[in-house]
Amino acid sequence: MNDSDDVLQMILSARELRANRQKDLLERLGHSLVCFTLNIPGPDKNAVLYEHIHQEGLSHFLQLLQEKKVSVIHWEVEQSILGMEGYISVDLESALLKRMTIEIEDKHPLGRIFDFDVFGPDSSVWNRTSLGKERRKCLLCEDTAILCARSRRHSLEDLINKIHNMGKAYFNR
């Protein structure tokens, strides 16, 4: 096995751990669950800037929940090879919760980097298309992000530079 095989195995293991953590929290707490991560391409997902971006997104989300008087049942943050992972269990209907996270992703200056996955208490997955919304746009062009990612239309360097520029602009304002 070479280094890239080792990294791939570590990524797959981390994804499995994340899925198991989500399943455990859903079963144990019985409420809607948000898994908050960042859309960071490439192997380095734990830069200090990314930690700050994650912290900003989590703080913004928790503040919005408080403003809307939504009960937070449980929240925690972990770090893995996949980057920062926030798990927030709330007493709110999943579709409403997903609409709230879409608004953050669409309106916050760093929202395009944020990734809020919403699960119902029954482990159902709520996404933009299930609510009749369009898929997310690419960071660098107006096409759908998933199409650009699959076709590798943009270089890793260009994507990372864009994320760094967004983060620096936000925190230096």
What is 125-163 written as a DSSP string?
EE-TGGGTPPPPBPSSSSSBHHHHHHHT-S-HHHHHHHH
In tens, the pLDDT along 50-109 reads 999 999 999 999 999 999 999 999 999 999 999 999 999 999 999 999 999 999 999 999
Contact 69, 160 (CB under 8 A): no
In tens, the pLDDT along 3-20 reads 777 878 888 899 999 999
Single pTM value for the model: 0.93
Helices (H), the chain: 3-29, 48-67, 94-107, 145-151, 156-171
Output the pLDDT for position 168.
96
In this structure, the number of other CB atoms found within 10 A of the CB of residue 34 comes to 26
Residue 113 has pLDDT above 80, yes or no: yes
In tens, the pLDDT along 27-45 reads 999 999 999 999 999 889 9
Output the pLDDT for position 112.
95
Output the pLDDT for position 170.
97
